[in-house]
Amino acid sequence: MASTSIQNISHWKYDAFLSFRGADTRKRFTGHLYAALKNKGLYVFKDDKELERGRSIPLELLKAIEESRISIIVFSQNYASSTWCLDELVKIVECKNAEDQIFPIFYDVEPTVVTKQTGNFHEAFAKHEEVFRDNKEKVQKWRDILKEVANISGWELKQSNESELIEEIVNVVSSKIRTKPETLKELVGMDSRCEKLRFLMDSGSSDVRMIGICGMGGLGKTTIARVVYDLISHEFEASGFLDNVREISSKGGLVSLQRQLLSQLLKLADNSIWNVFDGIDMLGSRLQRKKVLLVIDDVVDVKQLQSLAGNREWFGSGSRIIITSRDEHLLKTHGVDEVYKPHGLNYDEALQLFNMKAFKTYQPLQECVQLSARIIRYAGGLPLALEVLGSFLSGRSVDEWRSTLERLEIEPPSEILDILQISFDGLQELEKKIFLDIACFFKGNDRDYVTNFLEGCGFHPVIGIRVLIEKCLITVHNNTLWMHDLLQELGQQIVQRQSPEELGKRSRLWKEEEVCHVLTESTGTELVEGIVLDNYHHENEVYLCASAKAFSKMTNLRLLKICNLQLPNGLEYLSNRLRLLGWRGYPLKFLPSNLQMDKTIEIYMCYSRIGELWKGIKHLDKLKVMILSHSENLIRMPDFTGAPNLEKLILEGCTRLYEIHPSLLLHNKLIILNMKDCTSLITLPGKILMKSLEKLVLSGCSKLKKFPDIVGSMECLLKLLLDGTAIEELPLSIKLLSKLVLLVLNNCKNLKSLPTTISGLKCLSTLDVSGDLKFREFPEIVEHMEHLSELHLEGTAIRGLPLSIELLSGLVLLNLKNCRSLEILPVTVSNLKCLRSLKLSGCSKLKKFPEIVRSMKDLSELFLDGTSIKEVPSSIELLTKLELLNLSDCKNLVRLPSSIIALKSLKTLNLSGCFKLENVPETLGQIESLEELDISGTAVPHSTSWYSYIPINLMRKSVALKLPSLSALFHFQQALPIFLSF
């Protein structure tokens, strides 16, 4: 989106050419028409020379006709008497080959007079024929051209009001000129953006509407406003475009803008405005009856709007005010009706704009295709960047292109940064700090996470981040903070300019080579506020060595996030102002003894060698997150009484951890506690009451034998994972986990049973006891558990289910796969109306599937493969939504019931390996939905006549059929003509 105006884009020099008989209309109608066209901003050629009759038309006049987009012909009574006018007309028709390029006006002359050449036109041609008796072809051509043009639809003055007719002509002509598609030739991506803005303007409405265009610098806001202004300004009685209000206001004040506005809208230079209040009074009183189009560009202060477009009552019905700004809050404060936030150019649009600037064509040079793609990715859809870079690279060699790209990695062009810097300069100090932190450290991070950190720094980020969003410096997608790459470059450049040479005097360090230099050379100073170096994801992790005094001068360090930094001589000092201590692979057993962490919000020390955090009670009032995963030397957790606001504690993989302080399980604010794979943990303190806990993970604590007693309501706990532990039983107090949704107990090899109080878990959705080899009995369900949707008992030693299973009325999945001791299913299973999948695969002792006494209306999958059932009950017809029935390897199955025909939804039937099954019911062919049938390994005869056992109706369908043997397949091929004959 170039910032060039429409007029400059066209190859036409003039918008319109005026052809007229000077003596008839010059000082009256044509003069007024020319002034009206000019006031609309149209560039019109009007010849003011009086030439003697008979003189030939000059070349500059012919050229003006060629260079004009349209021609307006004013036919008057004496028009035909001028050979000049007639020659003009011939040239106009030669150049303008479309009717919408010629606009005839009949001034005090009837169109039929011009067409038939009667009256004054007859007299004029009589003289022409005498003068040009030797060139009759010329006169005849004039006659023909007059007839042709006079037949084009135009305007006839007659008794019309002259001023009203001129206004109509100007509006139509202006509309024709402005809507020509060629005018947008170089404005890439403009059509859709203009359409969106015009939709928001709601041009059909008679009320006064204010529309804001908001976006970061260089996005093309002014260009969009300019294009729409040029396209529709003819529809308004008055129009004005106040460009670059921010800069003009700072230099000449608001009064100069008010004067400019009055000049544009009312065509008067009123020097009686000496202060802003006079301007407000004049604007508010003189425009009330005018339908106005006004663009106020680049507003940075609401006072500017109050002085230039204070309220809707200033303007007449149907007026439209367009305001561009980088500050969304400013626009909303002023009360705009809509805020349009245009997106950057997509890849194809960006490529088109860049090619136009770099190559003056839409096609790049072949050797520059890949380089162009890199530049487009760098520009990130920002039109300003594409224009600057494209223009800079135009005409340069490939080597110069490569050199430019290398330089861009170090420093973006100043023309781009200077535009972006304007937004940064308008921020308050705390907002600047937040912006720089995001640019250097937190782009792509979770908004809540960053807000929590910045709050601890005293930056008031809730309002600060909102301001940055409103000023289009950052965006939020899926609660993640983002900013344009060039804005990030701006922030990082600002930090680098703080101290170009001495790295240790910059406020923020994030580049690997710079961080390494400062830490290994101990050059950091009190100016350093943050260090981030996440290089652990490198294929070959880099280990650096630093002296014990590496951090000794960084007294204002509030953010430290590094990894693999070795300290051969220990560590003497860390800043007491640290809000985030992130040190992956911390190499020492202890933190510095003089370290005060009363301001620390997060401690992240995965894979560290730390053995003990602190002794006694340490006051960590602001600590919210502690992550010590895979710190294999950690043996005990300290007293957490002094960390009352801790919300997240991750100890996963701390394989030597064996002792948990009782204060941890009585913590009131902890939300997540993860002790997965703490394989040395044998016991937990005797009681637990964690009022805020939502997730407790003890998975893989293979030596943990007992879960502590719950001594009070823990209604926030949603997930309890105890899989892979040595727990033998759950306490009766488990019922106090009233909001528990997930309970995982799979592979608890010592678990024998569940307490009956488990029925008190009214919100439980998933219960998984799979693989618990000693688990033999599912408890009686004494209360309805309507929210339990999944019950996994796969691989347990359970022998049966209680009749009370029907109280699990919301059960969707019942998984009893490979329960090899299961002998019987209660008939009440059929009362599970919501059940969709019943898995009994591998239950080798199950000899009978119970009668279905009620419709299991939602059951779609029934797995009976590997069971010992002999027959399928005829009541299977009640499973009206069954889609899959797996009976493979049911070695005792001898028949299928004829009622199987009732399974109208059945798609897959697997009978493979049922070697006692001798035939397939004839009714099977009537199941229209059947798509797959497997009868391989059954007792269906293998003789040449085996196909007589398969229903003919089934053979007519496109069913995936697996046959008993290869010989059967051969005979099927031979028998295929028989089937085709049916």
Structure tokens at 824: 């019987």
Cβ partners under 8 Å of residue 907, min gap 6 = 883, 884, 929, 930, 931, 932
Please give the torsion angle defined by the CA atoms of residues 576, 580, 584 and 587, in that order, rounded to the nearest 10 degrees. Answer: 10
CA distance linking residue 208 with residue 668, whole number of Å: 57
What DSSP element (H or E) covers 749?
none
Please give the torsion angle defined by the CA atoms of residues 367, 372, 373 and 377, in that order, rounded to the nearest 10 degrees. Answer: 160
Write b or e for each residue in 21-41: b if 16 or more Cβ atoms lie within 10 A of its Cβ, otherwise e.
bbebbbeebbeebbebbeebb
Task: Please report, for residues 645, 721, 737, 763, the alpha-carbon distance to residue 713 in angstroms, rounded to integers and kept in the order given.
Answer: 20, 18, 7, 14
CA distance linking residue 58 with residue 446, whole number of Å: 72
CA distance linking residue 96 with residue 104, whole number of Å: 13
CA 220 from centroid of its chain's CA atoms:
20
CA distance linking residue 25 with residue 60, whole number of Å: 22
User: What angle separates helix 136-150 from helix 83-95, to the nearest 10 degrees?
Assistant: 60
Phi, psi angle pair for 933, to nearest 5° = -135, 125
Q: Could you identify the residue written with the tokens 């007992």?
A: 706
Strand 695-697 to 709-710 pairing: unpaired
What value, to the nearest 5°, has the Cα angle with vertex 176 and ends 172 and 177? 120
How many C-beta neighbours within 10 Å does residue 95 have? Answer: 16
CA distance linking residue 681 with residue 927, whole number of Å: 58
Structure tokens at 292: 């106005």
- Amino acid of residue 894: V
Q: What is the largest CA-CA distance in the chain?
A: 127
Residues 421, 490: contact at Cβ < 8 Å?
yes
Task: Please report, for residues 40, 277, 347, 781, the alpha-carbon distance to residue 769 in angstroms, rounded to integers and kept in the order given.
Answer: 81, 79, 52, 16
CA distance linking residue 65 with residue 12, whole number of Å: 10
Nearest alpha carbon to residue 813 among 777, 861, 851, 742: 861
Task: Please report, for residues 12, 325, 488, 611, 950, the alpha-carbon distance to residue 232 in angstroms, rounded to integers and kept in the order given.
Answer: 20, 21, 37, 74, 76
Cβ partners under 8 Å of residue 778, min gap 6 = 754, 793, 798, 801, 802, 805
Q: Sign (positive/negative) of CA torsion 707, 710, 711, 714?
A: positive
88 is catalytic: yes
Q: Sign (positive/negative) of CA torsion 297, 301, 302, 305?
A: negative
Which of 50, 52, 66, 88 is catalytic? The answer is: 88
Where in the sequence numbering do the catalytic residues fall? 88
